[in-house]
A and B are shown apart, each in its own frame.
Chain A
Amino acid sequence: MNRLFAARRPLGLAALAIVAWVLPYRLNVYWISVADTALLFALLAVGLGLVMGIAGQVNLAQVAFFGVGAYGVGILTTAHGFGFWLAALLAMVAAVCAGLVVGLPALRVQSHYLGIVTLGLAVAFLDWVTNAPVTGGDSGLSGIPTPPLFGVGLSSQYLYYYLELIVLAAGLAFGYFVVRTSLGRRLRAMRDDALAAGAAGAEIRVLRMIAFVLASVYGGAAGVLYAGLIHYIAPETFSIADMFLLLAMVIIGGRQSLWGCVVGAIGLTVAQQELINLAAYAQLGYGMLVVAVVVFAPTGLAGVPSRVRRWRLRRRSGISAAALGSFSGVPSSGRTGAVLEVSGLVMRFRGVIALDRVSLRAEPGEILGIVGPNGSGKTTLFNVISGLYRPSGGRVDLDGRVISGSRPWRISHHGVARTFQHLRLFGNLTVLDNVRMAMDRTRSWWSWRYVFWPVGVWRHERELSRQAGAVLDAFGLAAFAGALPHSLPYGIQRRVEIARAMASAPRLLLLDEPAAGLNGDEQRQLAEIVRAIRASGVTVVLIEHNMGLVMSLCDRVVVLDSGAVIASGVPASVAAQPAVLEAYLGTTTLPSEAS
């Protein structure tokens, strides 16, 4: 089914290319201008899709990027006599700068806060162009020249269509190149779960800025083309109403799919032209459509086929027939285990002491168990070690190097990987992508290759895929490579999370209640996996409530109660200590076996 679809894809693309290429022959002067506008909106929408749908950053300033591109060209060509393409280049630079400025707040705030701030910045931009003399104020700039191309002036709407088509095709291709490879995978992982992405080595702050820069490049390019097409720009075109219209295009089309954004943009542009004398009804229509899409089909039109497919699958059979393979050993990473040294760690939350001078040590090739009643601070300890919290006191060293206080991605690059008590898989990434994302050890600035050395990206990608395949094989997950995590049984999801953690070739692995929810058989497999991980030299620290598992698996156990270490040692001796019994059972008067 899937392979067939893949084979059909080039055919579909070819058909689409032909339609797009011969379309102008069927259009009159008016409709070609509509087509030109539609293509511009499509380019804008792809940019918005990348930042909102792929990277999950609310951006209500996309029209401002559009405006910066258009005004950049307008001002430079009319007031300073620059040639069109030089002006276009500088305008793109300006748009990227705007992207960086609008993206800045994303480092501090998210979701609705980011929405209002970006909207506010869009209003501020609009205010500036309406007032500044250099932008011609409300009456705008006219007389923007036609862009020449190889000595041909593109004054014809028809020729311009092809220019736009080529730019859009290139933009889409680049967009898909980004989305399907390393950078896009990180962006999507960040969207699904920023916390887990950080713990898996993604530099969240840099990625957010990259997302806004991507959006601004597409917005700026659309603006440049717009200026060359219309030869006239005025603030009205970049209004908030147009921003919401653009948003509607992306939402209705499907924000997580670049094709969806294109379809939404073209569809809504054409619909708007058809209803040009019924503007209020058009607005009513797309407003209701947005509400309906958000409530009933959050992934938009682009998400409908996969929803239908999933629905039909579910009706036909329960879960996919693919079976979990057997675990066949941890692929060697060539890295040795690390010594974890926690000394005097204190963590306070608004007066509540969650960790009270915790000290412990884990050696390479050892499985250290952390146990204790609910609320004793076990997960908080993991959160401090993996960098989610900055400790109030004390320190964490890895092989003698202080890691406490570093950001999660940096700690991940030092060789610490973790799983979470409540699974934190990237829900909209396939199992393979979950693994590839964690496996990718490049830094974010590595992304310059996307612009200057795409071949390098491809090679890196091939290498990642090869290694990730090996990890999936080793963990017996090969059959689920293309599945989304939530479609899998819980036990398999747990294993995927461990595979993901191991994909980053860690030297220290933190497992937070890995056996929770597993049945007896699965627990036995888990024990086998954890032992194999230890055998590969990795230091393992695990939090577990299942005492049977702890007793049989761990080399040493540390008991936490009320944030403090109350006992530590080999499992059997720890279980015999009165303080442990009290922590677990509530009192020391419990009769011992001997009595």
Chain B
Amino acid sequence: MIRRSGAAAALSAAAIAILAAACSAPGSSSGGSGGSGSGGSTGAASGPIKIAVVDAQSGSSSDLGQFEWRGVKLAVDQVNKAGGIDGRKIQLTLFDDQGDPTVGTELARKIASEGFTAMLGTAESSVTLAMAPILQAEHIPNITSGQSTKLLKLGSPYLFLNGPTGLTYDSTLAKYLVQTKGYKKFALLTNNDSYGAGEDSAFTSSLKSLGITPVAAEVVPADQTNMTPQLNTIRSRNPQVLFIGAEEAQSGLTVKQARSLGMTAVIAEGAPAGTPLFLSTAGVANADGTIVSSPYLGNGVDAASKAFAAAYTAAYGTAPELHGAKAYDGAEVMISALKACHACTGLALASAVRAVHRTGLLGTFAYDSQGVGIFSTSIGIIKNGTIEPVSS
């Protein structure tokens, strides 16, 4: 008997619940979803401007995340100290994406629901790729540190890069190595994550446009730390140049292991080779002579970078590197846009970002329709543990 009435209660309760659901859709009534529908209005004129920084603070790419956060924070601290934007301070919140795209998508929704104006980061193209559709739907402009050309294919008007694409890095590098130095035998060693795969295709196509086919193109898993088997294959082909497409630590290890196998080929690489982690992993002696393609060659190249380096060192007690500089530039672009449109939001802010024209640490930003603002890199060479611009 009791059982009967229990079931009846369950049925009627369910019926009520369904009725309730039919009357109003969940989510529409609650005030949670902040971003939806605010397609380009000028933001509320009071309170701080909320900007989200999404970067890995845990997991294998947490180093990058740390560098980025410092760069962003430095720029924002500076503008806040100078009075903010139209008297409003910028309030930064750091989110840890753990390098995981799924976590990224959840963070994108969190950012939307908590009414953030804009987002800076992430350091990884794959996480940005996952987040971009949600940010687009919620009208939140995002300046990412990713450099994959896949980002451009999304065609989101809210997505911007804070540096050049991988293709820019690699074509500059290939041109220098082939046309200036006259090398002809190239070997590639790339890892299989999105960065490595992007480098593989970008450098290969850059070489191809110069009429050169690599003598070896080896792939290693991104978490592999023993590259010797692949290096063996490369060594047997005797290349003049070994191009590496992998993150800092793995690149450093590759260089170390290549040298311990007695390989003498010139090492060439994109941005990761310019970082302290690369140097410490490879060892200073092994890294000597590595050719680097980077929009930010070092802290002493010009007045702007010297000033940045001084401020960064004062704030964090350690010298900056490329990622910090990139993130700093990205934050500066966002700040300029906010200033220009008086802290607007949504599509208006995105348009303001696109209109920014300023010279930063990496060069002069002038965004195209795809969200790329920087189209060149410089070539440097590592000598005694520091990068110097090549004298060409």
Task: Assess A/B contact in the complex (Cβ within 8 A).
Answer: yes
A residues touching B (Cβ–Cβ < 8 Å)? 6-11, 13-15, 17-18, 21-22, 24-34, 37, 127, 130-131, 137-140, 142, 156-159, 161-162, 230-234, 236-237, 273, 276-277, 279-280
Instruction: For B221, list chain A residues within 8 Å (CB).
Output: 127, 130-131
Task: Kindly state the separation between the CA atoms of A280 and B222 in the bound complex, as whole angstroms.
Answer: 22
Taking A18-B13, A29-B109, A37-B102 as known contacts, 7 extra A-B pairs with beta carbons closer than 8 A to each other, sorted by chain A number, are: A11-B10, A14-B14, A25-B30, A31-B32, A33-B110, A236-B101, A279-B96
- B144-171 with Cβ < 8 A to chain A: 148, 150, 154
A29 touching B96, Cβ below 8 Å: no
A29 touching B194, Cβ below 8 Å: no
Q: Does B74 contact A (CB under 8 A)?
A: no
Task: Kindly state the separation between the CA atoms of A222 and B23 in the bound complex, as whole angstroms.
Answer: 30
A23: nearest chain-B partner, CB-CB: B26
Instruction: For B101, list chain A residues within 8 Å (CB).
Output: 140, 230, 232-234, 236-237
Known contacts A14-B9, A137-B194, A139-B150; decide if A130 and B222 are in contact (CB<8 Å): yes
Known contacts A24-B27, A30-B110; decide if A11 and B57 are in contact (CB<8 Å): no
Instruction: For A231, list chain B residues within 8 Å (CB).
Output: 133
Kindly list the 8 A-B residue pairs having the minimum CB-CB distance in the complex, ordered from nearest.
Answer: A28-B32, A14-B10, A139-B194, A10-B6, A24-B26, A138-B193, A29-B113, A279-B58
Partner-contacting stretch, out of B122-130, B319-327, B338-346: B122-130
Binary contact track B83-110/A, C-beta < 8 Å → 1, others 0: 0000000000011101111110111011
B residues touching A (Cβ–Cβ < 8 Å)? 2-3, 6-7, 9-11, 13-14, 16-18, 20-21, 25-27, 29-34, 57-59, 94-96, 98-103, 105-107, 109-110, 112-114, 125-126, 129-130, 133, 148, 150, 154, 192-198, 219, 221-222
- Which of B13, B96, B103, B106 has a CB less than 8 Å from the CB of A15? B13
- Which of B7, B16, B20, B130 has a CB less than 8 Å from the CB of A234? B130
Known contacts A17-B13, A139-B125; decide if A7 and B2 are in contact (CB<8 Å): yes
B197 touching A138, Cβ below 8 Å: yes
Within the complex, what minimum Cβ distance (angstroms) separates B54 from chain A? 11
Task: Kindly state the separation between the CA atoms of A7 and B6 in the bound complex, as whole angstroms.
Answer: 7
A158 touching B27, Cβ below 8 Å: yes
Within the complex, what minimum Cβ distance (angstroms) separates B37 from chain A? 12
A230 touching B102, Cβ below 8 Å: yes
Instruction: For B148, list chain A residues within 8 Å (CB).
Output: 139
Task: Kindly state the separation between the CA atoms of A33 and B59 in the bound complex, as whole angstroms.
Answer: 23
- Which of B3, B18, B59 has a CB less than 8 Å from the CB of A10? B3
- Which of B9, B25, B112, B193 has a CB less than 8 Å from the CB of A29? B112
Most buried by B among A139, A158, A276: A139
Instruction: For B100, list chain A residues within 8 Å (CB).
Output: 236-237
A14 touching B6, Cβ below 8 Å: yes
Known contacts A29-B33, A33-B106, A140-B101; decide if A10 and B9 are in contact (CB<8 Å): yes
Instruction: For B57, list chain A residues within 8 Å (CB).
Output: 277, 279
Task: Kindly state the separation between the CA atoms of A30 and B33 in the bound complex, as whole angstroms.
Answer: 8
Instruction: For A32, list chain B residues within 8 Å (CB).
Output: 26-27, 109
Task: Kindly state the separation between the CA atoms of A277 and B31 in the bound complex, as whole angstroms.
Answer: 25
Known contacts A7-B6, A8-B6; decide if A142 and B27 are in contact (CB<8 Å): no
Task: Kindly state the separation between the CA atoms of A593 and B319 in the bound complex, as whole angstroms.
Answer: 104
Task: Kindly state the separation between the CA atoms of A32 and B32 in the bound complex, as whole angstroms.
Answer: 10
A/B interface sample: 8 pairs, CB < 8 A: A10-B3, A10-B7, A11-B9, A14-B6, A17-B13, A30-B112, A230-B101, A279-B98
B33 touching A28, Cβ below 8 Å: yes
Task: Kindly state the separation between the CA atoms of A11 and B14 in the bound complex, as whole angstroms.
Answer: 12
Instruction: For B94, list chain A residues within 8 Å (CB).
Output: 277
Known contacts A130-B192, A236-B100, A237-B102; decide if A138 and B9 are in contact (CB<8 Å): no
Within the complex, what minimum Cβ distance (angstroms) separates A563 from chain B? 55
Instruction: For B196, list chain A residues within 8 Å (CB).
Output: 138
B219 touching A25, Cβ below 8 Å: no
Within the complex, what minimum Cβ distance (angstroms) separates A319 from chain B? 29
Task: Kindly state the separation between the CA atoms of A158 and B13 in the bound complex, as whole angstroms.
Answer: 20
Known contacts A33-B109, A140-B130; decide if A21 and B58 are in contact (CB<8 Å): no
- Which of A30, A34, A37, A277 has a CB less than 8 Å from the CB of B32? A30
Within the complex, what minimum Cβ distance (angstroms) separates A14 from chain B? 3
Known contacts A22-B20, A30-B32; decide if A13 and B27 are in contact (CB<8 Å): no
B105 touching A232, Cβ below 8 Å: yes
- Which of A127, A159, A277 has a CB less than 8 Å from the CB of B96? A277
Instruction: For A30, list chain B residues within 8 Å (CB).
Output: 32, 106, 109-110, 112-114
Task: Kindly state the separation between the CA atoms of A412 and B298 in the bound complex, as whole angstroms.
Answer: 79
Instruction: For A161, list chain B residues within 8 Å (CB).
Output: 26
Instruction: For B29, list chain A residues within 8 Å (CB).
Output: 25
B129 touching A29, Cβ below 8 Å: no
Within the complex, what minimum Cβ distance (angstroms) separates B74 from chain A? 20
B222 touching A138, Cβ below 8 Å: yes
Instruction: For A280, list chain B residues within 8 Å (CB).
Output: 58
Known contacts A236-B100, A237-B102; decide if A11 and B194 are in contact (CB<8 Å): no
A22 touching B102, Cβ below 8 Å: no
Instruction: For B130, list chain A residues within 8 Å (CB).
Output: 140, 142, 230, 232, 234
Instruction: For B105, list chain A residues within 8 Å (CB).
Output: 33, 230, 232
Known contacts A29-B113, A236-B102; decide if A138 and B17 are in contact (CB<8 Å): no
Task: Kindly state the separation between the CA atoms of A127 and B33 in the bound complex, as whole angstroms.
Answer: 38
B56: nearest chain-A partner, CB-CB: A279
A132: nearest chain-B partner, CB-CB: B192
B31: nearest chain-A partner, CB-CB: A28
A276 touching B96, Cβ below 8 Å: yes
Known contacts A234-B126, A236-B101, A277-B57; decide if A17 and B194 are in contact (CB<8 Å): no
Instruction: For B14, list chain A residues within 8 Å (CB).
Output: 14, 17-18, 21
A139 touching B3, Cβ below 8 Å: no
Most buried by B among A8, A34, A140, A162: A140
A131 touching B30, Cβ below 8 Å: no
B96 touching A236, Cβ below 8 Å: no
Task: Kindly state the separation between the CA atoms of A344 and B57 in the bound complex, as whole angstroms.
Answer: 72
B219 touching A131, Cβ below 8 Å: yes
A131 touching B6, Cβ below 8 Å: no
B110: nearest chain-A partner, CB-CB: A30
Task: Kindly state the separation between the CA atoms of A236 and B10 in the bound complex, as whole angstroms.
Answer: 41
B222 touching A27, Cβ below 8 Å: no
Instruction: For A26, list chain B residues within 8 Å (CB).
Output: 30
A138: nearest chain-B partner, CB-CB: B193
Task: Kindly state the separation between the CA atoms of A511 and B347 in the bound complex, as whole angstroms.
Answer: 82
